[in-house]
């Protein structure tokens, strides 16, 4: 009887060990697939302007640097730390002119760069289109002198540190 029992016990122990191994591997795979961090579309990103920009000194297509003003947090975990690099580009720029013509400056906030080299696409726009005061300049010129025609308009500018809102363009899996 001992001869029959020993092989049966060895077979049972082997099957139990194999089943335990398979269950353990399955749990590890589930943990790996559920631990992916997704940065959801529409997540608010606060971008602070790194340097002052002026409509008269910029050209369409120029890059603008920002830094992440607030860390991005998902489920009480910081997934992107404050200070991460953000880039945008100028979409419209015009210097102020005579007759009170005011400047224009518009840009898009486009990309968030993570420490590991991953790039997250953003959407966000900002513009400073100042209304012209040409009528005031012309009226001043008629009443005062022809020198009134040389009244300059106000330039469009944004100070360094100005914070703008941008949003994550699409769900992005963070590596």
List the chain domain ranges. Answer: 1-35, 37-174
Rounded to the nearest integer, the mean pLDDT of the chain is: 76
In the prediction, which pLDDT does 154 show? 59
Please state, as a whole number, how many other Cβ atoms lie within 10 Å of the Cβ of residue 110: 19
Topology adopted by domain 37-174: Lipocalin (2.40.128)
| pTM for this entry | 0.66
What pLDDT sits at residue 94? 87
The whole-number pLDDT of residue 139 equals 42
pLDDT computed for residue 36 by the predictor: 84
Structure tokens, 165: 């809102």
pLDDT per residue as tens digits for the range 23-46? 544 444 444 445 688 999 999 999
- pLDDT (0 to 100) of residue 132: 42
Low-confidence ranges of the chain (pLDDT < 70): 1-35, 97-101, 128-155
Q: Tokens at residue 138, please? A: 């012309």
The pLDDT assigned to 59 comes to 93
Measured at the CA of 53, the angle between CA 81 and CA 151, to 5 degrees, comes to 155
Q: Is the dihedral of CA 64, 70, 71, 72 positive or negative?
A: negative
């Amino acid at each position: 009887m001992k001869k029959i029992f020993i092989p049966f016990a060895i077979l049972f122990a082997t099957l139990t060990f194999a089943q335990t191994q398979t269950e353990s591997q399955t749990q590890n795979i589930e943990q790996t697939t559920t631990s992916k961090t997704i940065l959801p579309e529409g997540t608010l990103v606060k971008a602070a302007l790194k340097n002052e920009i002026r409509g008269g000194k910029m050209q369409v297509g120029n890059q603008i640097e920002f830094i992440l003003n607030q860390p991005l947090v998902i489920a009480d975990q910081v997934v992107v730390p404050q200070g991460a690099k953000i880039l945008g580009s100028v979409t419209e720029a015009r210097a102020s002119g005579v007759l009170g013509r005011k400047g224009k400056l518009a840009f898009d906030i486009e990309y968030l760069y993570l420490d590991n080299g991953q790039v997250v696409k953003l959407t966000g726009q900002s513009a400073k289109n100042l209304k012209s005061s040409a009528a005031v300049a012309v009226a001043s010129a008629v009443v005062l002198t022809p020198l009134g025609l040389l009244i300059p308009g106000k330039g469009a500018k944004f100070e360094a540190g100005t914070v703008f809102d941008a949003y994550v363009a699409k769900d992005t899996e963070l590596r």
